[in-house]
Amino acid sequence: MTVEETPVTVLGLGAMGRALAAALLGNGHKTTVWNRTAGRAEGLDATVARSAGEAVEASPLVVVCLLNHDTVHQVLDPVGDSLAGRTVVNLTNGTPAQAREMASWVGERGGRFLDGGIMAVPPMIGTPAGLILYSGVRQAFEEHEPALAHLATARYLGEDPGDAARYDLALLSAMYGMFGGFFHGAALVDSAKASLPTFAELVAPWINAMTASLPRMAESLASGDHAASFSSVQMQATGYANLIDASRDQGVSTLLVEPMGSLLDRGVAAGLGTGGLSALIELLYART
C-alpha cells in the first residue's frame, strides 16, 4: 500500500514558489496553487485555485512564498478565518521580528506556524543540496517533515519562530561578504587587463581553504579567547592598506573593501593588534 502524501497549497508562484510546487508535485502531493497574477501555473500539473481563500481551504499544509512580509499579510489577512487547524509555513524572506509577529497572528487564528529560511536557489529545490531552515511549532514540523523534506533538506532549529530568519540572514551575510570580496577582486584583476579566468581558477580553492577557519573563529567568539596563533590583527591591518592603495591606483572603487579596513584599524586602535582576527567581531555589538 502506498502512503498518501499530504495535500499542500502553495501561495506565490514566483521563481521560488514554482520550484516548490514542482517539487511537491514530483513527490506525489496533491498540490493547489494560487498566484496574484494569473498564468504563472502554466506547465505545472497543479490544481489552480481561483482565490487565495480557495487555495488555503484546499490543504492542511499551506506554504507561502511571496516577495516580503507585507505581501504575505496582503494575501493572508483577508483569509485569516480559514487558517484554523492548518499549518502555515512561511518561506518568504523576512526578519526574526516579522516571523514572531506572523507566528502570533496565525496562532490567534487557530493555525500553527513555521517560519522557513530557504538556503537554496530554485534549481536546488527538490534536491538534497537545497537546505531549508525551520523554526516555530515543533509538533507542526514533526508532523509535516515528510512533506517538507520533499522541498529540500529540512533542518528544524527550535520553537522561537525568529530563529529560521535569524540564521537565514546570518548565512546570507556570509554569502554577500564573499560575493562582495569576489566582485572587488574581479575589478582589481580586470581593471589591470589581467586574466579573469586565472582569477576564477584561483579564487574558489582559496575561499574554500579560508572557510576552514570559520568554526574555530566561532569557538573563539564563544570562549572570548582570541589569541593569535599565526595571523595577528596588526599584520593583517598593515597588509590590508595595500589592498586599498592598489585599488585606488587602478581606479577601482573602495566601496566594498573600506569597511573591513576600518574595522581592522579600529581593532589595532583598541589594543587588539596582537590577537587573532575573531576579536574584531566583538567590535560590532555589545556582547552581554
Ligand X SMILES: NC(=O)c1ccc[n+]([C@@H]2O[C@H](COP(=O)([O-])OP(=O)(O)OC[C@H]3O[C@@H](n4cnc5c(N)ncnc54)[C@H](OP(=O)(O)O)[C@@H]3O)[C@@H](O)[C@H]2O)c1
**Residue 9 or 35 having the CB closest to ligand X:** 35
Cβ neighbours of residue 254 closer than 8 Å, sequence gap 6 or more: 244, 247, 248, 261
Indicate whether 220 belongs to the interface with ligand X (CB under 6 A): no
Count Cα neighbours of 283 within 13 Å in the Cβ-side half-sphere: 19
Helix (H, G, I), strand (E, B) or coil at 88: strand
Q: Does 93 bind ligand X (CB under 6 A)?
A: yes
CB of 247 to ligand X, least distance (A): 30
Is 172 a residue that touches ligand X (CB under 6 A)? Answer: no
Residue 174 found at the interface with ligand X (CB under 6 A): no
Of the candidates 26, 45, 51, 67, which one interacts with ligand X according to CB under 6 A?
A: 67
Structure-block grid coordinates of residue 162: 525568529
- Residue 271 to residue 288: CA distance in whole angstroms: 20
Stretch binding ligand X (CB under 6 A), from 82-90, 118-126, 235-243, 252-260: 118-126
149 sits in which H/E element:
helix 138-149
Angle of CA points 245, 211, 121, to nearest 5°: 100
Q: Rounded to a whole number, what is the largest CA-CA distance in the chain?
A: 71
Query: How are strands ordered across the β-sheet holding 47-48?
Result: 47-48, 31-34, 8-11, 61-64, 87-90, 112-119, 131-136, 153-156
Q: Tell me the number of residues near ligand X by CB under 6 A.
A: 21
The window from 13-21, 144-152, 153-161, 241-249 that contacts ligand X (CB under 6 A) reads 13-21
Nearer to ligand X, 28 or 177 (CB): 177
> Of 121 and 194, which has the nearer Cβ to ligand X?
121
Check if the beta carbon of residue 86 is closer than 8 Å to that of residue 59.
yes
- Choosing from 31, 35, 59, 90, the residue that interacts with ligand X (CB under 6 A) is 35
One residue of 8, 9, 10, 12 binding ligand X per CB under 6 A: 12
Sole binder of ligand X in the list 8, 10, 13, 133 (CB under 6 A): 13
Per CB under 6 A, 71 contacts ligand X: yes
Residues near ligand X, by CB under 6 A: 12-17, 35-37, 40, 65-67, 71, 74-75, 92-93, 118, 121-122
